[in-house]
Structure formats: structure tokens, C-alpha cells
Amino acid sequence: MDPILTVTLLLGLMFLLLAAGVWIAPVLMAVAAVAIDVIAGRPAGSSIATTAWSASSSWMLTALPMFIWMGDILFHSRLSEDMFKGLSPLMRRWPGGLLHTNVMGCTLFGSVSGSSVATLTTVGKMTIPELRKRGYPEHLIVSTLAGPATLGLMIPPSIIMIVYGALTNESIAKINIAGILPGLVLAAMFSLYVAFKALTMPGYNPVTEAEVSWKEKLHASRKLIPVVMLLSLVIGSMMFGFATATEAAAVGVLGALLLAFAQGTLNKDMFIASLMSATRSSVMISLILVAAGSLSLAMGYLRLPEMLASWVDGLQLTPFWLLMGLLALYTILGHFLDGISCVALTISIVEPMVRHAGIDMIWFGIFMVLVVEMAQITPPVGFNLTVLQSMTGHDMFKVGWWSVPMHVIMLAMVFILIAVPGLATWLPSLMMPVRGA
């Protein structure tokens, strides 16, 4: 069968099932079964069963449930309250004042949760009432949560980076470390936007916070120490070769439990709630990965990745224009699918083209995560917009419109990453091999 016709039929089946409300994992599995059995003429059942076992028993995936559990433990603790109390004295005299607590709070919590929705929910519950009480503009409250909350996908440990590493057989530790500098640069860009709006926006006049002494600032900042220590422990153990990603995840869980115990929030109900939440999330993501593995197998039987790579090679696209095409693709998919589904759906076709173009796969992982971050604040399915709508009571149109500046900043960051690839590749190049491995 003609490859273009094959792709068209499979995409048509996929979008038909998605439009009918079928979950992404069964959709991918159904498309894989049709491609293997009907088009390739091979037995789909045994092929998918073998792939499902291989995908679900991968050692690389053992870090996934541990990092998810670490984030859930912290989600059920008093971490957001402590972060706000620690950050607010430090931020109150900056241009933009306490709006910076949204940016910095999301950066810190995102780095230990790995989830943009958990970051948004946790930080937003604490900061929205406080910022409203002080008269900050509503559109800035919304936008400074919508964009920075996506940093949970970029700054390690990141769930989507684990998924990407597992699907591409790249080092999960390296892909996580690669997100540090781009994530910090993006956070700085968000803060610069806040300061610019505070200095230039007519009518910007929130309640001015009283100045506090350096002694009081230092005393308040002690509440940030546990988060910084946990983050340093998890990332540092991977960076300096003391632990693999899986071992670092286990260290993170232990650290999160100790932190919750020290806060007095660790009890039987909290422990069970966090464990069950992590189990549900892990099973959902694992099912998507199994389905994605089946789709990759089907694409291999049909030789579609090779044919598409040859087709793209025939177009003689430069790596830049290939990236622009992929940017457009993921922007469109982001209107309809969440980030992990976007990666799982496309990686079997995109990976050969990217490798053939000579693009570093660790760098491309950060590029993909950054574009997927943009999808989190892209209507109509942007998860962050949906969460913000429920938290603030504003309609989706307003929330989406107020988030446009953050979308523009992230788009600018895409081009910065292309212009300065070392932002993503420098730190992984410094990583030490795991001791004893």
C-alpha cells in the first residue's frame, strides 16, 4: 500500500476514535492492531503481547512511579505554605512584588513534583487569595501561574522526560539534567516580564508591602531550606554519579517522607492517599507507554519511519526547518492532546527523522518538552487553563487570552534554545558516570 495512503488511513482512524472520546492508550493500541493485522498481514495479538511485556518490564521505567510518588507526598504536605512564607519577604520589594512568588514558587515546587498540574494547583491555592487581597491585577495573577507552572515539565525530575527517555532509549538522568539551564532561563524570562509589566502598566497599584530587615528575610527563608536540600540531593546524586535516575528517585521519596514527617503532615491517611494517587498516575502512564510501544512496532512492520525519513531527506530540509515543521506539528497536537500523549503518539515516526538530520536526541528532548509546555496553556485542551478556570472562576476565553504573553515568552525560548544549543547539552556533558556501574 502507498505509504501516504497508509498514514492517511491510520491518522483518520486515530482521530475518529479520539473524537469519539476513546482514551489515548486504547486508541494507540487499536491503530497498532489494525496496522499490524490488516495492513502488514501479521498476527497482532502475539506481537502486541510481546511488546507490552518488553515495554512494561523496562528497568528505565522504575524511576517513573518513584518520582510520581515523591511529588504526591509533597503535594499532600505543607510545602506550598512554607514556600510562600519563605519567598514573600524576599520578593515584596522587587518590581512586580509578590507576583514573583508565583514564578519562583512554581519553579521550586515544579522541580520536586515533576507535574505542571500539581504545581499549578499547589502554588495557586496558596497565592491566589493572598494576591487578590493585596489588589494585584487579575490577569497578571492568572498569567504568572499559567506559564511558570509548566516548569514542572522542564526542571528535573520531570515525568515527561522519563517517558521520553524510555521511548527513545536515551539516558533518563541526562535528559533530566539537560532541563536545568533552559528551565532557569525560562523562569528568569517570566520574572523579567512581571517586572516590565509592573514598571510600565497604567493603573498598576497593588498594596505596597512593608519593608523587612535582612535578619527577618533570612529567618523567613529558612522555610525554603528543606525544598532546596531535597532538590540538591536528587539532582546532585545524578549529576555527580552517585546514583542512577531510579536510585535518585528512591532517595527523593525517602527525603519527601522525612520532610512530611518533620512538618507533621505525615500520617496514615496522607501516606495512603499519596501512594494511591501515585499508583493511579503510574498505571495510566505505563498503559500509554505500552500502547506507544505497540504503535512503534506497527510502524516498524510497515517501514513507515524509514520511508518518511527518506521523504524528508528528499525535501532537503535544513535541521532548522525540520524543527519548524515539528514545532507546528506539536502546536497543533497540543490543542487536542496532553503532553505525554503527544510524545507517545509521535515519537516512533519523529525519532528516525530527527536522528537522520543529525540533531542531538538529548537536546531534542528539551525542545520537545518546551513545545509541549506551550501546549499546556493552549486552548481548548490546555490542562493548565482548565485548572486555572476552576480555581479562579473566570471563563476559558479570559484565562486563555491572559496566558498569551506566557505563550509568546515560551515561543521565544524555543528560538533561544535553537540558537544556543549548549543550554541543553552543556550540563549533561559534565555528568560523571555512576559509581560502581
Asked whether residue 7 is assigned to any structural domain, the reply reads no
| Exposure of 150 in the CB half-sphere (CA atoms within 13 A) | 29
In this structure, are residues 30 and 13 in contact, taking their beta carbons and an 8 Å threshold? Answer: yes
Asked whether residue 8 is assigned to any structural domain, the reply reads no
Q: How far is CA 155 from the centre of its chain?
A: 8
Distance CA 306, CA 353 (A): 8
Grid cell of 1 as nine digits? 500500500
Asked whether residue 188 is assigned to any structural domain, the reply reads yes
Structural domain containing residue 370: 58-266+303-430
Distance CA 93, CA 297 (A): 56
Based on the structure, what is the number of domains in the chain? 1
Asked whether residue 225 is assigned to any structural domain, the reply reads yes
Q: What is the DSSP letter of 37?
A: I
User: How confident is the model over 240-273, as pLDDT tens digits?
Assistant: 888 887 888 888 888 888 888 888 888 888 899 8
pLDDT in tens, the chain (437 residues): 566 677 778 778 877 887 787 777 788 888 888 888 877 777 777 777 777 777 666 666 777 788 888 878 877 777 767 777 777 777 767 788 888 888 888 888 777 776 777 778 778 877 888 888 888 888 898 999 888 888 878 888 788 888 888 888 888 889 989 999 999 999 999 999 999 998 888 877 776 666 666 676 676 677 778 878 888 888 888 888 888 878 888 888 888 888 888 888 888 888 998 889 888 888 887 787 788 778 777 777 777 666 766 666 677 778 898 899 888 888 777 766 667 777 877 787 788 888 888 899 999 999 998 988 887 787 665 667 777 887 888 887 888 888 889 989 999 999 999 999 999 999 998 877 765 44
Asked whether residue 330 is assigned to any structural domain, the reply reads yes
Distance CA 2, CA 6 (A): 6
Measuring CA to CA, which residue among 289, 284, 301 is closest to residue 52? 289
Distance CA 165, CA 171 (A): 6
Coil, strand or helix at 22? coil
Q: What is the DSSP letter of 378?
A: S
| Exposure of 201 in the CB half-sphere (CA atoms within 13 A) | 16
Distance CA 340, CA 318 (A): 27
Grid cell of 232 as nine digits? 540538591
Q: Residue 437's pLDDT is what? A: 46
User: How confident is the model over 313-331, as pLDDT tens digits?
Assistant: 677 778 898 899 888 888 7
Q: Residue 233's pLDDT is what? A: 85
**Distance set, CA 147 to CA 94, 186, 187, 202 (Å):** 19, 10, 9, 23
Measuring CA to CA, which residue among 81, 98, 107 is closest to residue 140? 98
Asked whether residue 278 is assigned to any structural domain, the reply reads no
Predicted TM-score of the model (pTM): 0.80
Phi and psi, residue 182, nearest 5°: -60, -40
Asked whether residue 50 is assigned to any structural domain, the reply reads no
DSSP notation for 402-431: HTHHHHHHHHHHHHHHHH-THHHHHHHHHP
Which contacts of 378-385 are long-range, i.e. CB under 8 A and separated by 24 or more positions? 378/331, 378/334, 378/335, 378/407, 379/335, 380/335, 381/334, 381/335, 381/336, 381/337, 381/338, 382/334, 383/116, 383/117, 383/338, 384/116, 384/117, 384/120, 384/145, 384/146, 384/149, 384/150, 385/146
Q: Which residues of 319-349 are buried (b: 16+ CB within 10 A; e: fewer)?
A: eeebbeebbeebbebbeebbbbbbbbbbbbb
Asked whether residue 374 is assigned to any structural domain, the reply reads yes
